[in-house]
Amino acid sequence: MKLLDAILDLLFPPKCPFCGKVQETRGICPSCEKALPWTEGDQGLRSLPGGTVCAAPLWYEDLTRDGLLRFKFQSASAAAEPLGELIAQCAAEHFSGEFDVVTWVPVSRRRLRKRGYDQAELLARAACRVWSVKPERLLRKVQDNPAQSGLTEAAARRANVLGVYEPVDVGRIQGRRVLLVDDICTTGSTLAECARTLRDAGAAEVVCAAVALTREKEKVHKDGKE
């Protein structure tokens, strides 16, 4: 495995997920690590509609926004590893002992074909590698609704995602405590709807983790969460 990693690093040199700078090792470059808008303590916790809590290590602004947009829309899928590690660290800090399975917010089939990967799934898999476990696909997206990024009002975002997710297998959800992973949490409508779907299917508890949160007083940016 180490040999394979070395070959891949030679063919595809690791880059900082935020500035895109080529590095000798995978991860965040020292300059970005100092400059990133880190959340501190309970700042990194957001109460979502329905009472679900989301944790994130970063604010969705400046370098964070640049890196996540590159990750989502410019085929920078390799950034999932360091970003997923951030999610794992954040979830361990805020939700240690509160979940026993990890899943993600799925994209629609059409969007998956267009993009070639599901960014939240890649993040969940990268986070789980830190813990030497594997995430489970618990949800599917059954409607290809308009992108959340085109909506600025919280009420419109909640309405846009209502009923667009369903459980893959109720039997794999019942009684389990779920960590739900996504890339960005803006109003929290998408995460809240997925959490509601999981609870309705019998999940004992749902907590959420993302790479970044928007500041609550900011308006939703049109380049933000889908």
Helix axes 119-131, 80-95, angle to 10 degrees: 60
Whether 216 has a pLDDT exceeding 80, the answer reads no
Which residues are CB-contacts of 7 (< 8 A; sequence separation ≥ 6)?
none
Q: For residues 152-171, give the mean pLDDT.
A: 75
d(CA 179, CA 119): 16
d(CA 73, CA 29): 21
Banded pLDDT at 127 (limits 50, 70, 90): very high
Q: For residues 192-210, give the mean pLDDT.
A: 96
Whether 225 has a pLDDT exceeding 70, the answer reads no
- Using one digit for the tens of pLDDT, what is the confidence trace for 163-174? 789 999 999 999
Q: For residues 11-35, give the mean pLDDT.
A: 87
- pTM, full prediction: 0.86
Which residues are CB-contacts of 83 (< 8 A; sequence separation ≥ 6)?
17, 67, 68, 71, 123, 126, 183, 211
Banded pLDDT at 58 (limits 50, 70, 90): very high
Q: For residues 210-223, give the mean pLDDT.
A: 69
The residue count for the chain: 226
Which residues are CB-contacts of 65 (< 8 A; sequence separation ≥ 6)?
212, 221, 223
Q: For residues 6-26, give the mean pLDDT.
A: 73
Whether 13 has a pLDDT exceeding 90, the answer reads no
The pLDDT, as a whole number, for residue 3 is 47
Whether 220 has a pLDDT exceeding 50, the answer reads no
In our burial notation (b when 16+ CB lie closer than 10 A, e otherwise), range 18-32 reads: bbeeeeeebebbeeb
The pLDDT, as a whole number, for residue 75 is 82
38 in Cβ contact with 32 (< 8 Å): no
Handedness of CA 192, 193, 197, 198 (dihedral sign): negative
Banded pLDDT at 221 (limits 50, 70, 90): very low
102: which strand partners? 179
Whether 109 has a pLDDT exceeding 90, the answer reads no
